[in-house]
Amino acid sequence: MSSLRARLRARLWGPGAWRAWLGMALFLALFGYALFAILWRELPRLDLRELFSRVSAGDVALALVVYSADLALAIGGWAIILGVLSGLWHPLDHFRIYTLTAITRRLPGTFWYLLGRVVLYERLGIARAITAVAGAFEFAATALGGVLVAIVTWPLALASQQISPAWLAVPVLLCAALLNPPAVRGIVRRLSPDHHTPPVSYRTLLAWVLLYALVWAVGGVLLFVTVRAIHPLPAAHLPAMIGVWSAAGLVSMLLGSFVPFGLGVTEVTLATLLTPFMPASEALFVALLMRALLTLCELGYGLVGGLLCLPDLLRRSPVPDEGRPLVDAEKPDEVAGAGAVVPPKEMA
Of residues 48 and 313, the one with the higher pLDDT is: 48
CB neighbours of residue 161 within 10 Å: 12
What residue ranges do the domains of the chain occupy? Answer: 2-337
Taking only the tens place, the pLDDT of each residue in 152-162 is 887 776 655 55
What is the number of alpha carbons within 13 Å of residue 111 lying toward its C-beta? 22
Q: Write phi, then psi, for 339 (nearest 5 degrees).
A: 95, 5
On average, the pLDDT of the chain sits at: 77
Residues of the chain above pLDDT 70, percent: 64
Report residue 190's pLDDT band, with 50, 70 and 90 as the boundaries: confident
What is the number of alpha carbons within 13 Å of residue 179 lying toward its C-beta? 28
Report residue 78's pLDDT band, with 50, 70 and 90 as the boundaries: very high
> Is the pLDDT at 271 greater than 80, yes or no?
yes
DSSP H helical segments within 231-315, as ranges? 238-256, 265-274, 280-315
Quick one: residue 319, left, alpha or beta (phi over 0 = left, psi -120 to 50 = alpha)? Answer: beta
What average pLDDT does range 264-292 have in this prediction?
86
Highest-pLDDT range among 27-36, 76-85, 183-192, 335-344: 76-85
